[in-house]
Structure 1
């Protein structure tokens, strides 16, 4: 980013920052530049991103590769003289048909439905741009779907499964793993280059000018699409709506906090049985043994796989508990007006928002293990009762981070500065 004085350039529009609620004048951006909030350094607009056309080409490539990545074998084991294959769809289907449909559904959402829907939406947005349509519903959908695309997490789960299975049978990788790796790489690129908030500006540009605002007429802001506007529109019931996404632009702080608390408390309730009950069972020669989350980490340590033990511990134990602790701290900071460092609080919030999805690692490992080592009376693998609780805890805490309004922290900071 180049630091160019605003007075030397024409102001393009006025925008509110979605993270700290600061009112910022955004100038015209040259290629390679991006505009950030001078107070919290949140990116407001960028000219350093891929075109929607290029993203659509990547999305089309993902859809072409997806059948090979999902339905064909990624790993194979030689188990008691017979070859057993593992695929993404095979693991989900086996889990669903052997008595664990709810856990299978959570995995299906993150590894099958959401990645396909995400790629389709990018292509549909490009078609809408070519036909000069205003794809309001598509933009809302891609904003909701993006956090739940977890192909990169599944890639790590594949490596963990390989380490876990090698103690029971000879392991080999199939040629279709190349398709999966390519799909995972393209998904990661698309995930990094697509910003739903920026896409809104492509179809519905920000246009509020400095002359249109005053102390008597402060601009309105919609947190759903990051739109700053002069006057809201009203629906048939007389409720104010954002003129861009048609959502309610003004969500009361009490409602936002209630939504975050509800999701977080439900996630806390789920985390206890997730850690107390076994998450998986392995039976060898009719001798069953159950593994909890922590005992699974200990078994990797005993095998000498310290790096894998660290990855599993980080994703399955450290991240879920630290995410809950951080979210509780941020919520208590708002309720009790704790005047701590705002930079530290925002840094914690960004970290917890980024790492939360990696907790799904354990469920992906379970799905792969289900398709690899479930083989009758000699060796049998099954999912434990903790799996569904763990998956629900991950989902609920992710919802809590998305509903949390960081502007409430900045409001406390502003009140401290004014006193």
Structure 2
């Protein structure tokens, strides 16, 4: 439940909201409660999380299941009497060895490296907690790893691949698919019950939170806020170049609006450019008796419609075409709102930003389907499958637009709203 602070309640500390830059007085929370910013409804603090010990047990369970989920076959296809097993690692390996190493690396990063690294990080954090170490860099790294873990997207990709191959071969779901589904469920549970940024308070309790006793000084000296560890404080430290840094995580502060916009515009424009060849070139080739048939993103959707798989066609269309294009257009609109001071509804703008931030990762669905198809339909058979040139451009576009979304500073939108409210 949301915890809104009433004037009669005892204020425990004051925090600055990372999304709208507002100051919020937060009272002591009970178990199961969380504090929200009253302006933008951004979650500031939560008591609805598991202990690091329990999260480490979940992470260890995931690592135990990982070899069965990644290395062993999840699907088996009977192609004219020849049985072919499909695994995640097999798809990545075939994609890399058959001339598409960069595309294979994108799949490897999000389907293998990021999940394993995230779980290892949680376990190492638990070890640091037992040994009373201060894992500053690890806490920063785990927050960056979280958006790139895409086991849930890969689970949907397996279903799409099964629909795509069922007209060519007899499919059998192997028992190791249970291990993959269990891993995906446990990973989702771990994401829901661990908050990397709130772990900072557990590992660095010596950095006290801003209290109401300092409130009279805030008008003269507004508090600083660190986006890397969500820490609100009055006095920053300085590095050897006399730049202000966070006293807790040592990240640079006071990033100018110009730099912030440049770090958003650059990957966004590059991602938009990549969308053109991604939609024009074939993303895959299917060989029937050595006769190639190229499929673009839109023709793949049309194929599913022709097969009568309307729901699968909708999922592929949403992930491959609608989401990437809509995400680019919405980001262009939000950036234009900042540059031209458009005074539109701030609630609507923030809702759009949160939507694209959540759904953007699902565009990786197509690359995961390609990896599964590479593993299922191998060269040398009557029916062959190969990755097309659009796969690289599409994957690069997904990565670049995700980076642009992560770099976007929503406080710039709220500054326009604040000027309008005066």
TM bin, normalised by shorter chain, reads over 0.9
More displaced stretch, 250-259 vs 192-201: 192-201
Distance (Å, rounded) in 1 between the aligned partners of 2:103 and 2:202 = 38
Distance (Å, rounded) in 2 between the aligned partners of 1:157 and 1:201 = 38
1:188 is displaced (CA, Å) by 1.1
Question: Which residue, 203, 206, 209 being the options, matches 1:207?
Answer: 209
Identify the residue that residue 361 of structure 1 maps to in structure 2: 365
More displaced stretch, 352-361 vs 122-131: 122-131
Gaps of 5+ in 1: none
Distance (Å, rounded) in 2 between the aligned partners of 1:5 and 1:334 = 31
Change (3 A) 1:5 1:172: closer
Whether 2:409 is the aligned partner of 1:405: answer: yes
Identify the residue that residue 234 of structure 1 maps to in structure 2: 238
Identify the residue that residue 270 of structure 1 maps to in structure 2: 274
Distance (Å, rounded) in 2 between the aligned partners of 1:163 and 1:201 = 47
Identify the residue that residue 342 of structure 1 maps to in structure 2: 346
Change (3 A) 1:3 1:103: closer
- Match of 1:196, SS state, is coil
Given that 1:224 and 1:249 are in contact with CA atoms closer than 8 Å, whether structure 2 keeps it comes out as: no
- TM alignment of 1:100-111, pairs within 5 A: 100-111=100-111
TM-score normalised to the size of structure 1? Answer: 0.98
Given that 1:281 and 1:290 are in contact with CA atoms closer than 8 Å, whether structure 2 keeps it comes out as: yes
1:3 is displaced (CA, Å) by 5.3
Given that 2:3 and 2:33 are in contact with CA atoms closer than 8 Å, whether structure 1 keeps it comes out as: no
Identify the residue that residue 63 of structure 2 maps to in structure 1: 63
- TM alignment of 1:113-152, pairs within 5 A: 113-152=113-152
Distance (Å, rounded) in 2 between the aligned partners of 1:144 and 1:3 = 27
Distance (Å, rounded) in 1 between the aligned partners of 2:304 and 2:250 = 51
Identify the residue that residue 417 of structure 1 maps to in structure 2: 421
- Match of 1:134, SS state, is coil
1:79 is displaced (CA, Å) by 1.2
Gaps of 5+ in 2: none
- TM alignment of 1:254-293, pairs within 5 A: 254-293=258-297
Distance (Å, rounded) in 2 between the aligned partners of 1:307 and 1:91 = 25
Identify the residue that residue 76 of structure 1 maps to in structure 2: 76
Distance (Å, rounded) in 1 between the aligned partners of 2:112 and 2:318 = 25
Given that 1:69 and 1:177 are in contact with CA atoms closer than 8 Å, whether structure 2 keeps it comes out as: yes
After superposition, the CA RMSD in angstroms is 1.2
More displaced stretch, 184-193 vs 354-363: 184-193
Whether 2:50 is the aligned partner of 1:46: answer: no
Given that 1:356 and 1:394 are in contact with CA atoms closer than 8 Å, whether structure 2 keeps it comes out as: yes
